[in-house]
Amino acid sequence: MSAETRHVVLLDGSHLTRQQVAQIARGDAIIGLAPDQLAKVQRTADFLAEQVKRGEPIYGVTTGFGSNADKLLGAHRARDELPGGNLETNSRTLMEELQHNLVVTHAVCVGKPMSADVVRAMLAIRVNTLMRGHSGIRASTLQALAELLNRGIVPVIPEKGSVGASGDLAPLSHLAIVLLGEGEAFYQGERLSGGEALKRAGLAPVKLSFKEGLALNNGTTQMLAMGVLALDRLERLVATADLAAAMTLDAFAGRSSAFKPEVHALRPHPGQVETAVRRWRTFPTISCRASRPGSRIRGAIHPPRRIVSTSAGTGCRRRNATARRRFMRASCRSRAARSTSRRMRTACAASRRCMVRCVTRWRRRNA
C-alpha cells in the first residue's frame, strides 16, 4: 500500500488510540504531526536553549547522567589535554557529543531483530509521546523521526536488552541511532546500515541538540508497543471465537435465548455482556428457529403398536380417536424432526462455505 493511499493518523500527544497504533503497526496508516502542537514542541526547545545560554545547570544537558548528575560539563574535552593532543576530529559541540554518545553507548541489545510491526508501533508511540512538548526536543528532529516511519525505514532492534520498568533505554537507542546515520535498518526488505537506509529514503542524518538523546531513549515505549499489539491480537481472536460460536449455534439449531442481553445484564461482567450481545446480533433469526416445532430433535417416532377396534362401544371409540390423534401428532413431530435434520445439514454446509467470508467481514467491521 503506497503512502498516497494510506490513512493518515494525526498525532497531537493526547488522542492516539490502540486501534490507531495497530493500524500503523500493520502498515495501513502513516502519521502526521498536528501543527499547533508541533509549534508548542518548538517553543519548549527554544526555552531550553535560552536556559543553556544563561549557564543554568540542567540535568542531562550541562551535567552528566545518573550518578554523574552532580558533575557539570567542562569547557572542553578532557582528551584534548592528552599528550600529543586529541587526534579525533569532531564537528560536534561538547553538549551535542554528550547526547550522541548517550544513544550510541546504550545501543547494546542482542538477539534476533524485533518484528517490523513492533518497531513501527514503537515509532508511532515515541513520536506521540514527544509531541506533548515537555522533553525539549526540536520540531525538526521530531519530524525526522516521523519520516523514518512514513518512508518505510524499520530500525533493527534486537529482542533482548531492555531493563524493563527502569526504561527501554537500549531498544530505544537502537531506534534512535538510525536517525544519526548509524546502526542498521530494514528498507524495502533489505537490511542496510543506518546511513545507507537514510540515503535511499532521501533523508539526511540528524545532529542531536540539547537533551534530545535523553528524550529519544528514555521511556517504556517497547513494552507499551508489545502490550498494545498483543491486546489487539487477543481482541481479534475473541471476535473470531464469538463468530465461530454463533455459526455453530446456528448450524446445530441451538437456542439463542441464552444470549439475550437482559439475561447477562444481571451479572457485573462487561466482557460477558459484550460477548453475549455480539453472538445475539450475529444471527438474529436463531431465536425464531428455536421456537419452531421440532427444534429439539429426539429421533424417529413410530406409530402406536395397537389401535382399538371401532366396533366396540363408545368408550372404545373414544380410546380409538385418542390413539389416532396421538399417532398423528407423533407423525407430525417425526416429519418436523426430519425436516429440521435436513435444515441442520444444509446450515452446516452453508456455514462451512461462508466461514471465510463471514470472518473477513467481521474483522473489517471490528478493525
Name the one residue in this structure whose C-alpha cell is 419452531.
Answer: 292
Q: What does the alpha-carbon distance between residue 210 and residue 319 come to, in Å, rounded to a whole number?
A: 103
Output the nine-digit C-alpha cell for 37. 502542537
What does the DSSP assignment read for 153-172? EEE--EEE---GGG--HHHH
Residues 32 and 125: beta-carbon distance below 8 Å: no
Burial (CB count <10 Å: 0-12, 13-18, 19+), residue 82: exposed
Identified catalytic residue from 17, 35, 43, 59:
59
- Return the H-helix or E-strand segment holding 252: none
CB atoms within 10 A of CB 270: 9
Name the one residue in this structure whose C-alpha cell is 439475550.
Answer: 260
CA distance to 142, 251, 254, 272, 334, per residue, from 344 (Å): 59, 6, 10, 28, 15
DSSP count for the chain of H helices, then E strands: 13, 7
* Active-site residue, 187 included: no
Residue 113's SS3 state is strand
Q: What does the alpha-carbon distance between residue 188 and residue 263 come to, in Å, rounded to a whole number?
A: 53
Strands 158-160 and 153-155: unpaired
Output the nine-digit C-alpha cell for 96. 551535542
Residues assigned a catalytic role: 59
